[in-house]
Amino acid sequence: MAKRKQGAGDRISEAEHAVMEALWDTSPLSAAEVCERVCTANDWSIPTVKTLLSRLVAKNAVGTEPQGRKFLYHPLVERSDYVGGESRRLVDRLFGGRAAPLFAHLAENEALTDADLEEIEALLKEMRK
């Protein structure tokens, strides 16, 4: 199953993201199996999941493979590629493309714990090596 990078026109909605998380966690899955993982938490039904899966297939984010009378679904977009693209869009849109103001904002609003700051410092030291 070929993986691909997410393109600019492939924006995944919040609802579609919940389906993707289920598929990134375990795949391939049938629509019913995806529903078992996401329907209760989101108050969705199987038709909603099938609609979301259809949209994701149309966006080339999810692939299908027939199994008898049903289809199995698997992600075509790597989670890390999706997260990278969304992170870049967030930084570009809200912080002028610079990450430093994002960290400053998080620190000023006490959204970063001491453990978070230590982890960020360790990452920065590693990146400088």
Confidence at residue 1, expressed as pLDDT on a 0 to 100 scale: 47
Question: Domain residues for 92?
Answer: 80-128
Is residue 1 included in any domain, yes or no? no
As a whole number of angstroms, the distance between CA 61 and CA 77 comes to 5
Whether 7 shows a pLDDT value over 50: the answer reads no
Say yes or no: 18 and 68 in one domain: yes
Task: Provide the domain count of the chain.
Answer: 2
17, pLDDT greater than 60: yes
**The domain spanning residue 110 has which CATH number?**
1.10.4040
**Do 69 and 32 share a structural domain?**
yes
Given a cut of 70, whether residue 49 has pLDDT beyond it is: yes
